Amino acid sequence: MRAGFKLRPAKVGDIATLAKIERDVSPFPWNEKQFAESLQNHRSYMLCKGNRPVGFIIFHQVLDEAELLNIAVKSSFQGEGLGACLLDFFLAEVSASAVTLFLEVRVSNFPAIALYEGRGFHPVGERKAYYHSESGREDALIMRCDLPLH
């Protein structure tokens, strides 16, 4: 992790902050209930500068398959390599026990797609009209990363 930044498990008291960061960066953000469910069922980490939350990552793993569910960096902290740090953390956390990683992303989300491609994800399919969008519905790109067998 970059100097001055740390990652810690997110907790129930972080739900409002997670939703606030999400509203800052996403046109159709997860709500507090979705974050609360993720805290119960998935692995959720808060990225902090000092004690100030500036991003998060949420993922889960079932057997040897892991899925990235959400990742965000506050807009004022984007473009500094923090998104890549978050993704590297996910890869490091699951690499000992997972062999296949998946994620879904809006087809128009070029910054995120570039981030994922830079870390070994490649497109393997689409879900038509999967997301709400400004113009109605938008497709999801399904991306996959195969980790080396251990």
Ligand X SMILES: CC(C)(COP(=O)(O)OP(=O)(O)OC[C@H]1O[C@@H](n2cnc3c(N)ncnc32)[C@H](O)[C@@H]1OP(=O)(O)O)[C@@H](O)C(=O)NCCC(=O)NCCS
Would you tell me which residues interact with ligand X (CB under 6 A)? 25-26, 71-73, 78-84, 105, 109-112, 114-115, 118
Give the side-chain half-sphere CA count within 13 A for 42.
Answer: 19
18 or 112: whose CB is closer to ligand X?
Answer: 112
Active site residue 32: no
Number of residue whose CB is nearest ligand X: 83
133 or 149: whose CB is closer to ligand X?
Answer: 133
**Which one is catalytic: 22, 45, 67, 116?**
116
Please, what is the minimum distance in Å from the beta carbon of residue 13 to ligand X? 22
Active site residue 104: yes
**Which one is catalytic: 93, 104, 130, 131?**
104
Please, what is the minimum distance in Å from the beta carbon of residue 128 to ligand X? 17
Are the C-beta atoms of 38 and 66 separated by less than 8 Å?
A: no
Are the C-beta atoms of 65 and 48 separated by less than 8 Å?
A: no
Terminal-residue alpha carbon distance, the chain: 25
Distance of CA 4 to the CA centre of its chain: 21
96 or 134: whose CB is closer to ligand X?
Answer: 134
Phi, psi for 39 (deg, rounded to 5): -60, -35
Please, what is the minimum distance in Å from the beta carbon of residue 130 to ligand X? 12
56 or 98: whose CB is closer to ligand X?
Answer: 56
Residues in CB range of 135: below 8 A, 6 or more apart = none
Q: How many CB atoms lie within 10 A of CB 37?
A: 11
Please, what is the minimum distance in Å from the beta carbon of residue 75 to ligand X? 7
Token readout for 74 is 């506050």
Catalytic residue annotation: 104, 116
